[in-house]
Amino acid sequence: MQLIEWDARAYDQLPLPHQRWGSATIRRLRLAGDETVLELGSGTGRDAELLLDALPAGRVVAVDGSAQMLAQLRHRLAGRMDRVTVVRADLREPLILDEPVDAALSVATLHWLPDHDVAFQTVAAALRPGGRFVAEAGGAGSVDRVRAALRTITGDDGGQWWNFAGVDQTTCRLQRAGFTGITVDLVPDFAILDSSEQFEAYLATVVLGAQLRELPAPQRRPFVHAVAREMGEPVIDYVRLQIDAMRA
Ligand SMILES: C[S@@+](CC[C@H](N)C(=O)[O-])C[C@H]1O[C@@H](n2cnc3c(N)ncnc32)[C@H](O)[C@@H]1O
């Protein structure tokens, strides 16, 4: 299956809960300031920018599959790209990076990857022994309200579009990939949008982005509108999977 392109302009205009997820996840890394940090699913570079601020003598290796998201990252980080390596890659496949890294971060990306064993092996292969991996993503129980609306409208809850993992599965996968000192939590965290317009833009750009690509363009807006109407309250019922682990 082809990699999905993200609408980077629309994405950066949204009031994203990802902003607080990103800064909280970076804080969990407790950086000294001279590390090289891998970011898996760097998107438009919002967290890479925070990482550069926290790494006056360090570097960021930003990996993402979307050309649009990476173009926006390069634009955002213009003037600081001497400390950034950009890698465009499909994270559904194993990836070997050219440089080893001291720490790794991933925000709101793992649930878009169908095989977490592959993603964790990519991180483990890049990390030096003792290096930390912190991540957060959608986890088991996420977006049940969206899925109920999809089931009502189409007869299918769209579960195949996301990989919402649980605590035990994730812990086993991290162990298999060579991690130790593993903590995994599931934390309910609802995103409340201000208006129906914002709600529909958020659904279209983030939650339903992948599904919409399958529909002919003229059907996309009416479909999003139907999902939003079926859901009623402009609330996305996220459950966040939070990971903290160390490369053995
Ligand atoms: C919701 S965005 C999160 C971006 C950023 N971490 C943030 O918090 O704003 C998900 C990102 O995962 C990337 N992604 C999804 N599937 C991917 C794949 N198979 N390979 C590489 N990147 C992928 C998308 O391109 C997108 O930038």
Beta bridge partners of 237: 190
d(CA 96, CA 183): 25
Q: Is 80 in the pocket of ligand 1 (CB under 6 A)?
A: no
Percentage of the chain beyond pLDDT 70 is 100
C-beta separation of 4 from 214 below 8 A: no
Our answer on whether the CB atom of 46 is closer than 6 Å to any ligand 1 atom is yes
Q: What pLDDT is recorded for position 2?
A: 78
Per-residue pLDDT of 223-241, as tens digits, reads: 999 999 999 999 999 999 9
List, for residues 199-217, the tens digit of each pLDDT value.
999 999 999 998 999 999 9
What is the pLDDT at residue 71? 98
Of 224, 223, 219, 222, which is closest to residue 234 (Cα–Cα)?
224
Tens digit of each residue's pLDDT (9 = 90 or more) over 129-143? 999 999 999 999 999
CB burial readout 194-229, b (16+ within 10 A) else e: eeeeebbbbbbbbbbbbbbeeeeeeebeebbeebbe
CA-based nearest residue to 167, from 187, 151, 150, 149: 187
Q: Which of 19, 112, 238 to mutate to test the pocket of ligand 1 (most atoms within 8 A of CB)?
A: 112
Does residue 99 surpass a pLDDT of 90?
no
**The two three-digit tokens of residue 91, written as one number:** 């994270």
Neighbour order of strands in the sheet with 235-247:
84-88, 59-64, 36-40, 101-107, 127-138, 235-247, 179-192
Q: Quick check: CB of 43 below 6 Å from ligand 1? A: yes
Structural domains of the chain, ranges and CATH numbers in brackets: 8-142+162-193+237-247 (3.40.50.150)
Task: Give me the mean pLDDT over the 102-126 stretch.
Answer: 98
Q: What's the gap in Å between 6 CA and the centre of ligand 1?
A: 8
Span from the CA of 184 to the centroid of ligand 1 (angstroms): 21
Ligand 1 atom closest to 92 (CA): 19
Q: How many CB atoms lie within 10 A of CB 187?
A: 11
Mean pLDDT of all residues belonging to the chain: 97
The predicted model gives 46-53 an average pLDDT of 98
42 Cα: distance to centroid of ligand 1 (angstroms): 6
Q: Each residue of 183-199: pLDDT tens digit? A: 999 999 999 999 999 99
Atom number in ligand 1 closest to CA 91: 20
108 touches ligand 1 (CB under 6 Å): yes
